[in-house]
Structure 1
């Protein structure tokens, strides 16, 4: 079931998830054509090669959105299957990827697409997969813990899972800085998922990620914070040299305690133990 885009109202699916049909332009404008989106992509470009063992292995990109992460892996020689439930998002990603492929960024056969939600991937893309990416997805699901169980089931023994989640603790801190004291005190931080605002319906804590990973037999190998400073600046950097300095700061402290814990996003690498012989 896809949400409708009538009267600027957006409904959750029957599973309680938020899809993004009708919001491609807002996503592109708010998340990727703005400084915060540029910083997020720059930090992924910096961190993924450090946090993952990349050997050109096949990748399942779950909830691939506008296709940036799938393109990142395709450019580096990986065969990528991008799964995305929003038809609008998938169409945008296909068109952009086609342009990039035609320009020689990667062979067209390197990317394939699945119009499917995470919950159906055990049927549509069972794998097992040596590398799964699932970035900024869990916070838009009604049952994020169950999603981790599904992802663990899709992962091959010895495989790696790259998870990026919207940090509930950072959301609380941000609300305090903005003066939303009662909202922070009552801990009513979740978005409703019914309008264009992009406050996640299920922001996640680090403790939850630890618990969900362990419950599914996964080992947490690494964690980093993304946008650990940017969202709290009173005056975002306007000059190019200031932006470069901020990026250097983010890189320097993104894996240092306590700074990573207040990243707007938390980026994890989980691994699945090798099968017993």
Structure 2
């Protein structure tokens, strides 16, 4: 069944948990995404066992990854069905679960937080710009935000590769959120993240592309040796310009400075 938009115009996933799990984490592409994050998160973040807010934590994969590394995690998720799946996945781990949309977090999980993770969430929101402002307010001075977004430029190229030239030329790339297809309603560009981060006083410290090659292949590799070669390519070029710019997802480390720019120059 379709998942209606929330009052904020956001796409939630009640009734779609199985499809969500298969689409985002199932198969070779899902395995590749998790393998790349396993490498990149320790490289791109300063991890010291800080308390962590996982925003829109979905099925709990990231929350479990951080909890296993000593972080006290609070996972927030608006979908009751997804939260139930996360509870099952995270049984026995130090993770607090909170059913809440991103817009409610200043009241329900105010922090300030030294570490926030928000992966594959903004592209499902009706107003991702305001959502990033909310995340910035939750972040402690000196705190880090690990942000991953669905890349609009990669979506355009993917449509061209598939022969959807008219759609790409008209820039009709967004999903509508009214059917069971999982095309994000707000795919984002690197330029938007640059501009919106600057508006909130956040510094972009690191950036990488997730799956810069895999989603453009005519056929996913079937042999284990070929999958290993693809992973090696992804690891080699995921942080190399211009390749990272066409990752299916863009992964950022954003930081709230410990002092304002004016204080830093006095």
SS in 2 for 1:217: coil
Counterpart contact for 2:204–2:254, Cα < 8 Å: yes
Cross-structure match for 2:119: 135
CA–CA separation in structure 2 for the residues paired with 1:28 and 1:118: 21
Aligned ranges for residues 76-115 of structure 1 at < 5 Å? 76-98=69-91, 101=92, 108=93, 110-115=94-99
Partner of residue 244, structure 1: 228
Q: Which residue does 1:104 correspond to in 2?
A: none
Correspondence for 1:34 among 27, 31, 35: 27
After superposition, the C-alpha distances for 1:180-220 in whole angstroms (9 at most, x for unaligned) are 00000000100000111110000000000000000000000
Tell me the distance in 1 between the aligned counterparts of 2:2 and 2:88.
26
- Determine if the alignment matches structure 1 residue 197 to structure 2 residue 181: yes
Q: Secondary structure at the match of 1:250?
A: helix
TM-score, normalised relative to structure 2: 0.97
The answer on 1:60 being equivalent to 2:53 is yes
Any residues of structure 2 matched to 1:1-277 within 5 Å, and which?
Answer: 8-98=1-91, 101=92, 108=93, 110-275=94-259
Q: What is the Cα deviation at residue 9 of structure 1?
A: 2.3
Residue 182 of structure 1 aligns to a residue in which SS? helix
Shift of 1:96: 1.4
Structure 2 Cα separation of the partners of residues 77 and 172 of structure 1: 39
Equivalents in 2 of 1:44, 1:112: separation in Å? 22
Deviation at 1:275, TM superposition (A): 3.4
Long gaps (5+) in structure 2: none
**TM-score normalised by structure 1 residue count:** 0.93
1:29 is displaced (CA, Å) by 1.7
C-alpha distance in 1, partners of 2:49/2:141?
17
SS of 2:253's partner is strand
Could you say what the CA RMSD is over the residues aligned between the two structures, in angstroms? 0.9
Misfit runs of 4+, over 3 Å: none
Distance in 2 (CA, whole Å) between partners of 1:256 and 1:65 is 29
Offset of residue 124 of structure 1: 0.3
Say which SS state the counterpart of residue 183 (structure 1) adopts: helix
CA distance in 2, matches of 1:201, 1:131: 26
Shift of 1:31: 1.8
* Equivalent pairs, count: 261
How far did residue 10 of structure 1 move?
2.2
